[in-house]
Structure 1
Amino acid sequence: MFKYLKNDIPSSIVVFFVALPLCLGIALASGAPLFSGLIAGIIGGIVVGAISGSKIGVSGPAAGLAAIVLVAIQELGFESFLVAVVLAGVFQILLGVLKAGIIGYYFPSSVIKGMLTGIGIIIFTKQIPFFFGHAEAKTKGFNLIKFFGSLDQVETSSIIIGVVGLLILLLWSSVLSKKGRIFQIIQGPIVAVAVGIIYYLTTKGGDLNIVTGNLVNVPVPGNSDEFLAQFTLPDFSAITNPAVLLTAFTIGLVASLETLLCVEATDKLDPHNNVTPTNRELFAQGAGNIVSGLIGGLPITQVIVRSSANINSGGRTKLSAIVHGFLLLISVIIIPTLLNKIPLAVLAAILLIVGYKLAKPKLFLEMFKLGWQQFLPFIVTVVGIVGLDLLKGIALGLCVGIVVILIKSYRNSHFLHKEDKSNGEQKMKMTLAEEVTFINKGAILKELDSLPENSYLELDVRKTRYLDYDIIEILEDFVIKAKERNINIKLISERGTVENPPSYIEFFKLRPQIQN
């Protein structure tokens, strides 16, 4: 782990600069105490980084969970919500022990993209009041409708620094980051935060000053006892609350999916082609969430923004992730006063970019061009998440995805070719697919019933590796119909060719009593 110190130390500094504003911003988007975002970043770096088998992945509070966390804290209260975080960690450890690291592959990519897009839309819309410095933006139940109904309460100074921060981020990502390594080492978010602090200090007491309510507010401890008092303990008396258990399951499932997707993406980006053990990663994330929940932190996942920054900065081992966690811890201890000079509008600008990247308008067009089979589950997931909630949106998208698969399977069970023989007899050739299940009963039965009288059918099952007993029963029933309609059948299989077999059940050697 210490072999590549010259690579990992500079990389850890870059990741720290990226992570610091994101930890605060995601806590802001989640409606949680800002200190809880820093706790999650510290635990994600030190605890998860130490246990994980990933060499370049970096974990911390995730934007993808902000929508869930926001609703959960409002409904449960923060202490009860922390119980859900701990239980979500236990659930993830169980997934790791059960070797469920492949769980992400059971969700259609269209649903996953819809999930990230829906989350991006929620993050984007939730930051608009903070970007405009609305005085009531942090109160429970405040939304865009109330915001547009009270525009007289926006703060001009917050708008100014929000716009400046947004321009810096756009300029940095689209222009300056390509001009030199210094612009890659010093990331746009940390520059936007620094400019925000300078603006606050220079305008303090003036006409364009930023009021205290629109600034970051993390506790400033005077001694070690006060520092320890900042950490919030979960209220385990709520452990039997069904809402807590549902929230825990939701966090555990979504955090695992987001982590596994990030693992897949970072492994592809890694120039050294390292492969992350997914089951161990679930175990590490679960351990991190248990610790984070026990001391007042937000849920943790592996995060693509930090992981890609680590890769682009030359990180080689998990040491870069661990050191970045210690740097966050040091910043909390040494510079909390400085953190409290950061305007919330700047953090909102950072999260507007995050939300936009998750829900790019171009993605909607790309999914539409892929056809209705991809677009329909995608858009249903997006609408479900934005209009209902995350879990219901994913469930709706998954149901639509399953229906699409069933329709495609229904259509792809066989291939039917028609031709006329020299004697005028109509010849049909039906080739069954590699796997034919009960789902295909309707399609095959429809084709058999539509065969004309006095025709000839070649039934080719040489490519079929699995033939459901339900299909064999249809063929068995068709024997009588074929005789009545003078349809001759030629069955072609790897075992040979049979003209008008008297029994398909006998031919395939499949009897009801041995189906198990």
Structure 2
Amino acid sequence: MAVDKKNIFAHLKSDFPAGLVVYLVALPLCLGVALASTGDPNRLFSGIIAGMVGGIVVGALSGSALGVAGPAAGLVVIILGALDTLGSFEALLLAVVLCGIIQLIAGFLNAGIIGYYFPSSVIKGMLAAIGITLILKEIPHAFGYDKDFFGDESFTQPDGHNTFSELYYSVRYSSTGAIIISLISIAVLILFERPFMKKIQLFRFLPGALFVVILGTIINMTFAAVKPEWAMAGDHLVKLPVANTAQEFISFFSMPDFSMISNPDIYTVAFTLAIVASLETLLSVEATDKLDPYKRSTPTNRELKAQGVGNIVSGLIGGLPVTQVIIRSSANIDSGGKTKMATIIHGTLLLVSAIFIPYFLNMIPLAALAAILLLVGYKLSKVSLYKKMYELGWDQFIPFVVTIAAILVTDLLKGIAIGMVVAIYFILRKNYKHSYHYKKEEHKEGEVITLQLSQEVTFLNKGSINHTLSMLPRDCTVIIDGTKSLNIDYDVLEIIEDFKNHTAPTRNITVKTVGIKGVSVMGH
């Protein structure tokens, strides 16, 4: 079925259940990132604010059909450092507002074009790595060992442990109740994937994730009544701040400290946040577009503008910085979301539930939510993806695998940077080989060698062309044919000119150029 691009209300039957699933996934992620970013339980609502803004404001302005924005684990270290440098949360909010302004300007300057230059192998490696990371990071929560914040992606932890050592401790200190809830939740989610479930009218609209959350909560309440030692409590449950009055709810929001506007550290933090948040957004946009079953393309400059407005609004009302995030976007796609109405619904649900039902939300065990993310992780890193990348050849497979490994042992942006270096090596290697076609003929007057230049000849090709020219035999004729070239960089023209005017005469080589502007046509 085709997607109606103009009417975002046309697919509510698909978008509402998807938005509901994204909301269930986003709720603990927002709280976890907020706690990790601020270290203050009283600032948990800053993550909810960022989630609401990411859903409603960014969702409405973005050109992405399936991307979901909100607070990101990748910014945690930057925010923690900024709080130490700036001295207050309100000063950080001012930096978030300025970050948004920088992103808005970048969007108008067409900086979003950077998003089109990430190699496919690296993006697919990022998706697979996030899938593996989700599985590794959610197993401890599924086992009832919740030492790391929900949504953490980093390999190393402040307590000295890492992703793999946490797996050991999660098994050693596991909770029977959490394991039971997780296993039942996974089984139910797999059941909901079966075709026969789609034939039942109720389950066409009711997402499996919602059923899992309700069932997990009921099981945990049953444990509390009949087997208290198995029941989940405290850090093993969602911990949304509860306001007893409207005035107390309003107190959860904060204003930036505009008196800090003259502090140069504010601008350093703002630029750092803008660069990292924009890169993470553009990476997520590219990855989400690859996962989109309808293969729609997101306008990246518009996305930067939407993110900029989102950060301005989030900073003004007390929220953390927002980026587009692949985990929530993947959950949206897996749940059948079709338009950006799904992300708007998820943001609206965050707002409504925070006002009206925080007490009930705080009864949800994290083990049930971990089961949902475990399935999302599996779908991002299926074996079929690895087989497909291997079949594409080493120049695609090696950057893909290196990106996965680098992200797993560092973090998202560092891993992407390492993957990019490897991918660029293979791109340069390919360019080195395929910048021209070499043809040699024998004539009475001597060898005639033709170099047929390709359509695009850039500075990346000058090394291979220079090497070929330097290896030409003495007393030959070389024809450098640029008739099929649409563009030849000045760097390459300069090499041809130097060879023709200086090197060739010393070796009695006759040089003829055809269809190359900027190079003299007189032979030697």
Q: TM-score range by the shorter chain?
A: 0.7 to 0.9
Aligned residue number for residue 153 of structure 2 = none
Q: Against the structure 1 CA distance between its residues 245 and 5, is the aligned structure 2 distance closer, same or farther, given a 3 Å change threshold?
A: closer
Structure with greater Cα Rg = 1
Deviations 1:257-279 (A, max 9, x none): 32355357659456xxxx76543
Q: Give, as a single letter, the amino acid of the residue that structure 1 aligns with 2:471.
A: S
The answer (yes or no) to whether the contact 2:143–2:367 under 8 Å persists in 1 is: yes
Q: Against the structure 1 CA distance between its residues 14 and 252, is the aligned structure 2 distance closer, same or farther, given a 3 Å change threshold?
A: same
Aligned residue number for residue 352 of structure 1 = 374
Aligned residue number for residue 506 of structure 1 = 520
Aligned residue number for residue 116 of structure 2 = 105
What does 1:293-332 correspond to in 2, within 5 Å? 293=315, 294-297=317-320, 299-301=322-324, 304-305=329-330, 308=333, 312=336, 321-332=343-354
Give the secondary-structure state (helix, strand or coil) at the position aligned to 1:347: helix
Between 89-98 and 169-178, report the one with greater CA deviation: 169-178
Give the secondary-structure state (helix, strand or coil) at the position aligned to 2:144: coil
Count how many residue pairs are aligned between Structure 1 and Structure 2. Answer: 485
Q: Against the structure 1 CA distance between its residues 444 and 337, is the aligned structure 2 distance closer, same or farther, given a 3 Å change threshold?
A: same
Equivalent in 469, 479, 482 of residue 504 of structure 2: 479
Q: Against the structure 1 CA distance between its residues 400 and 136, is the aligned structure 2 distance closer, same or farther, given a 3 Å change threshold?
A: closer
Q: Against the structure 1 CA distance between its residues 19 and 445, is the aligned structure 2 distance closer, same or farther, given a 3 Å change threshold?
A: closer
CA distance in 2, matches of 1:239, 1:403: 38
Give the secondary-structure state (helix, strand or coil) at the position aligned to 2:265: coil
Q: Give, as a single letter, the amino acid of the residue that structure 2 aligns with 1:304.
A: S
Between 235-244 and 14-23, report the one with greater CA deviation: 235-244
Aligned residue number for residue 514 of structure 1 = none
Q: Give, as a single letter, the amino acid of the residue that structure 1 aligns with 2:24.
A: P
Equivalent in 422, 429, 437 of residue 450 of structure 2: 429
Deviations 1:82-110 (A, max 9, x none): 66654443332122121233221122222
State the Cα distance separating 1:37 from its structure 2 match: 4.7
Give the secondary-structure state (helix, strand or coil) at the position aligned to 1:418: strand
* Cα RMSD (Å): 3.7
Aligned residue number for residue 501 of structure 1 = none
State the Cα distance separating 1:447 from its structure 2 match: 2.8
Aligned residue number for residue 335 of structure 1 = 357
What does 1:97-496 correspond to in 2, within 5 Å? 97-134=108-145, 136-138=147-149, 140-141=158-159, 143=162, 144-149=164-169, 151-175=171-195, 178-179=198-199, 182-207=202-227, 208-231=230-253, 240=265, 245-259=271-285, 261-262=287-288, 266=292, 268-269=294-295, 277-293=299-315, 294-297=317-320, 299-301=322-324, 304-305=329-330, 308=333, 312=336, 321-421=343-443, 425-464=446-485, 465-466=487-488, 467-483=492-508, 487-493=509-515
CA distance in 1, matches of 2:231, 2:69: 32
State the Cα distance separating 1:160 from its structure 2 match: 0.8
Q: Give, as a single letter, the amino acid of the residue that structure 1 aligns with 2:501.
A: E
Aligned residue number for residue 152 of structure 2 = none
Deviations 1:59-82 (A, max 9, x none): 3337xx43x144445655594776
CA distance in 2, matches of 1:189, 1:435: 50
The answer (yes or no) to whether the contact 2:478–2:510 under 8 Å persists in 1 is: yes
State the Cα distance separating 1:199 from its structure 2 match: 0.8
CA distance in 2, matches of 1:181, 1:38: 33
Q: Against the structure 1 CA distance between its residues 113 and 233, is the aligned structure 2 distance closer, same or farther, given a 3 Å change threshold?
A: farther
Deviations 1:352-380 (A, max 9, x none): 22333333344333323322322333333
Equivalent in 54, 60, 70 of residue 69 of structure 2: 60
Q: Give, as a single letter, the amino acid of the residue that structure 2 aligns with 1:430.
A: L
The answer (yes or no) to whether the contact 1:368–1:374 under 8 Å persists in 2 is: yes
CA distance in 2, matches of 1:146, 1:58: 30
Q: Give, as a single letter, the amino acid of the residue that structure 1 aligns with 2:208.
A: G
State the Cα distance separating 1:337 from its structure 2 match: 1.1
Q: Against the structure 1 CA distance between its residues 508 and 252, is the aligned structure 2 distance closer, same or farther, given a 3 Å change threshold?
A: farther
State the Cα distance separating 1:349 from its structure 2 match: 1.5
Between 443-452 and 12-21, report the one with greater CA deviation: 443-452
Between 80-89 and 179-188, report the one with greater CA deviation: 80-89
Deviations 1:443-484 (A, max 9, x none): 33433343344544443332234252223212322331342x
Between 115-124 and 159-168, report the one with greater CA deviation: 115-124
Q: Against the structure 1 CA distance between its residues 239 and 364, is the aligned structure 2 distance closer, same or farther, given a 3 Å change threshold?
A: farther
Aligned residue number for residue 54 of structure 2 = 44
Give the secondary-structure state (helix, strand or coil) at the position aligned to 2:449: strand
The percentage of aligned residue pairs carrying the same residue is 37
Q: Give, as a single letter, the amino acid of the residue that structure 2 aligns with 1:460.
A: D
- TM-score for the superposition, normalised by structure 2: 0.79
Matched, 1:19 2:30: no
The answer (yes or no) to whether the contact 2:45–2:241 under 8 Å persists in 1 is: yes
The answer (yes or no) to whether the contact 2:496–2:519 under 8 Å persists in 1 is: no
CA distance in 2, matches of 1:269, 1:147: 37
- TM-score for the superposition, normalised by structure 1: 0.80
